[in-house]
């Protein structure tokens, strides 16, 4: 019998990295990563990472550097939990615009294509229909859907979203969570024989419907409530004109293969809104930082003073044959130049 697997995206899912990482010294685990890997493995799942590593194709680091980062991640996972063992690492070094010619291609391995998942399934004998993909970016979800896996979109509000995570979503994930612990609970509820992690008893509340495979039960007073099922798309996720074509193809394919959408609960909507709100906040902070670094009133005034000083110097040149007129003009030009320097110094101090 083929074994199911959990396919983890690596960067900003298991380790903190919103850019390019080729140095093992920079590996830092995401909170709860080791326990999540260990628990999911205890349910009988193989654990596989699959990651786009275009930094290789861009000449930023080598394939050996990617393997070194993966090895360091393995080491840190086992240090925190002896059961946190990853069975295989898949990565794609290719990119259509790679600067290194050997890696310049539109590879089927590169997400959002499902090549890495299909490759691992063939080599390891995996059951993809019972497997899961957990990642922080729409391309992870799209790759998982294309391979026939169930999908979980993960976004920890303590992690800055990567460029990949900001991409427009084409297909919706089966679930969205804000912690790896919650992702494990989602998988546990859908895995026969898996025991959910014990939790503290909740305060007395009105009886709720029994948990089912298609409608996760909402939690009472749980600040980590972050599970969603078949969430409706939001306006910020609409794709650009080129993405709309892919969206239509995906919609046509999913119509024939996906089960009918289920009713969304209040917890579902809150979970998705929490993720969206955090992404908007991170984007506003990023733009504010750029704006403050590039503009100030002092710099604007300094620029105006510099233009005036130049104009007055030119005027003094025209009156060079009349010393009585030229000298006051020159003094004014010098004053404006000194004032310009003072404004620039003030602008630097404010930063």
Could you give the residue numbers annotated as active site? 9, 11
Pick from 52, 31, 281, 29: nearest CA to 178: 31
Q: From the centroid of its chain, how far is CA 287?
A: 17
Pick from 321, 150, 172: nearest CA to 247: 172
Pick from 286, 288, 301: nearest CA to 347: 301
Q: How far is CA 12 from CA 15, 207, 228, in A?
A: 5, 37, 20
Pick from 34, 165, 185: nearest CA to 153: 165
Q: How far is CA 239 from CA 111, 248, 295, in A?
A: 17, 11, 32
CA atoms of 11 and 91, how far apart (whole Å): 11
Pick from 92, 109, 6, 89: nearest CA to 49: 89
CA atoms of 62 and 37, how far apart (whole Å): 27
**What is the number of other CB atoms lying within 10 angstroms of the CB of residue 115?**
19
The b/e string for 314-344 (b: 16+ C-beta within 10 A; e otherwise) is eebeeeeeeeeebeebbebbeebbebbeebb
Q: Which tokens go with 28?
A: 């830092």
């Amino acid at each position: 019998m083929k074994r199911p697997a959990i396919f983890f995206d690596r960067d900003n899912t298991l380790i903190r990295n919103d850019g390019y990482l080729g140095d093992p010294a920079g590996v830092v685990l995401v909170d709860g990563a080791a326990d999540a890997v260990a628990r999911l493995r205890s349910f009988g799942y193989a654990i596989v990472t699959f990651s786009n590593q275009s930094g290789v194709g861009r000449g930023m680091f080598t394939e050996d550097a990617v393997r070194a980062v993966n090895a360091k991640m393995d080491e840190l996972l086992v240090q925190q939990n002896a059961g946190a063992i990853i069975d295989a690492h898949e990565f794609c070094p290719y990119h259509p615009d790679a600067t290194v010619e050997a890696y310049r291609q539109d590879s089927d391995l590169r997400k959002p294509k499902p090549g890495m998942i299909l490759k691992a399934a063939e080599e390891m004998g995996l059951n993809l229909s019972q497997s899961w993909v957990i990642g922080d970016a729409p391309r992870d979800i799209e790759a998982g859907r294309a391979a026939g896996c169930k999908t979980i979109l993960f976004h920890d509000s303590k992690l800055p979203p990567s460029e990949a995570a900001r991409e427009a979503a084409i297909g919706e994930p089966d679930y969205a969570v804000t912690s790896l612990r919650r992702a494990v609970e989602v998988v546990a509820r859908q895995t026969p024989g898996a025991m959910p992690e014990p939790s503290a008893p909740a305060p007395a509340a009105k009886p709720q419907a029994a948990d089912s495979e298609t409608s996760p039960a909402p939690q009472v007073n749980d600040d980590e409530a972050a599970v969603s099922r078949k969430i409706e798309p939001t306006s910020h996720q609409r794709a650009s004109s080129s993405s709309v074509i892919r969206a239509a193809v995906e919609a046509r394919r999913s119509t024939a293969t996906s089960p009918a959408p289920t009713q969304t609960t209040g917890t579902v909507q809150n979970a998705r809104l929490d993720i969206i709100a955090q992404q908007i906040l991170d984007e506003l902070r990023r733009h504010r930082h750029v704006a403050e670094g590039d503009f100030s009133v002092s710099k604007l005034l300094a620029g105006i003073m510099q233009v005036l000083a130049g104009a007055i110097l030119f005027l003094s040149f025209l009156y060079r044959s009349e010393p009585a007129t030229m000298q006051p003009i020159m003094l004014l030009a010098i004053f404006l130049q000194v004032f310009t320097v003072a404004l620039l110094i003030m602008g630097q101090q404010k930063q």
